[in-house]
Amino acid sequence: MKRIVFASCLALASYMMVSCNSGTTTENKDAVDSAKAVNKEQKPVDKSVSDFAVKATSGGIMEVELGKIAAQKAVNPRVKAFGQMMVDDHSKANDDLKSRAAMENITLPSNMSDDQQKMVDNVNKKTGKDFDKEYMDMMLNGHKDVLDMFQKASADLSDSTIKEFATNTIPAIQKHLDSARAITGKK
């Protein structure tokens, strides 16, 4: 169940996104819902485009936060290195998406969703090998779903600016998935 919930939330989010706002928002309890509401009202682009950008941003924010925790807390050096890779790669992708979304007048969340924050809090409670296992299982399952989400966006989105972001980000997502598979020994 945790695996399904995480995968869904990560897919709602995705790898690569933004930790800052790129438009006007009305900050609510949940920044993701707030961004979606602003985009629905302003209709900057096709709904599927803005929904993808919001999901990718929220996921990217979560990936950076989890990566920071893993880089400090993991006991396995490979897991620590993976966490740092998540921070570096997702911060870069977040910045790219933020600038592209601004060009399209898409409002992005400034924080991850409340559900994602709960998942971060739960994994952060783990220690030692239990933390490493939980974190890497989340990364493995989440990156599978995110890869599917980005491949679909790369094929289907109507906005060329955001579609290009999705296409350009796929190799990093694949690299993350391959790394997670190597570390966990799972497919």
**Where are the domains positioned within the chain?**
2-184
- For the entire predicted model, the pTM comes to 0.78
Tens of each residue's pLDDT in the chain, 187 residues = 444 333 333 333 433 333 333 333 334 357 666 655 655 666 656 788 988 999 999 999 999 999 999 999 999 999 999 999 999 999 999 999 999 999 888 888 899 999 999 999 999 999 999 999 999 999 999 999 999 999 999 999 999 999 999 999 999 999 999 999 999 999 8
CA distance 67 to 60: 10
**Long-range contacts of 127-136, Cβ-Cβ distance < 8 Å, separation of 24 or more:** 127/73, 128/75, 129/75, 129/76, 131/70, 131/73, 131/74, 131/75, 132/74, 132/75, 132/76, 132/79, 135/66, 135/69, 135/70, 135/74, 135/79, 135/83, 136/79, 136/82, 136/180, 136/183, 136/184
Q: Is 2-184 CATH 3.90.25?
A: no
